[in-house]
Amino acid sequence: MQSGSCSFNLWKVAVDFDGTTVHRVRFLRTADTGFVPVQFTKFLAGKGTDFTPLKSAALDGDSVYAKIYREVSKIPYGKTKTYAEIAEAVGTHARVVGNAMSRNPTPLIIPCHRVVGSDGLGGFSPDIDIKKALLTLEKKVSKNIP
């Protein structure tokens, strides 16, 4: 297992990974030492749109959470879906989807920022500004990929 961090706006993105399997991604105010997979730095710089061949450890399993994470990871770059849509696709309730996002062990890889509420942005932890910034970034970058 390795870990490292890189910057995104005012935040540090700490990544724990093992080969191509990412176990944990966290947003921190302070930086750890170490490097992160190049996919992260490219993505956060708007120079990459996916994390291939990286995968999240949270996608494994048959729990409802794993299904939700798989469904969320299908959302294409620059697009968004609502909690209700995800819930319907998985066969559960929107509240559970919100719960799954809240406990999302690997943001970014599982693009939880692309899941929004029916009437707006929804929420994000630890800071809604991160979600806003990611969506703004993706909107901007996807314009340059006609």
Partner DNA sequence: GCGCCGATCATCA
Partner DNA sequence: TGATGATCGGCGC
What minimum distance in Å lies between the beta carbon of 78 and DNA? 17
Give 36 or 72: the residue with its C-beta nearer to DNA. Answer: 72
Cα(28)–Cα(21) distance, integer angstroms: 21
Per CB under 7 A, does 142 bind DNA?
no
Residue type, 52: T
Classify strands 21-28 and 55-56 as parallel, antiparallel or unpaired: parallel
Per CB under 7 A, does 112 bind DNA?
yes
What minimum distance in Å lies between the beta carbon of 103 and DNA? 6
6 as an active site residue: the answer is: no
**Judged by CB under 7 A, which of 14, 115, 135, 137 binds DNA?**
115
Cα(142)–Cα(140) distance, integer angstroms: 6
Give the range of 9-17, 32-40, 46-54, 123-131 binding DNA by CB under 7 A: 123-131
Residues 42-101, interacting with DNA (CB under 7 A):
63-65, 82-84, 92-99, 101
Helices vs strands, H then E, count in the chain:
5, 6
- Cα distance between the two ends of the chain: 38
Q: At CA 52, angle to CA 19 and CA 77, rounded to 5?
A: 140
Q: What residue ranges bind DNA (CB under 7 A)?
A: 63-65, 82-84, 92-99, 101-104, 107, 112-113, 115, 117-119, 122-125, 131
Residues acting as catalytic residues: 112
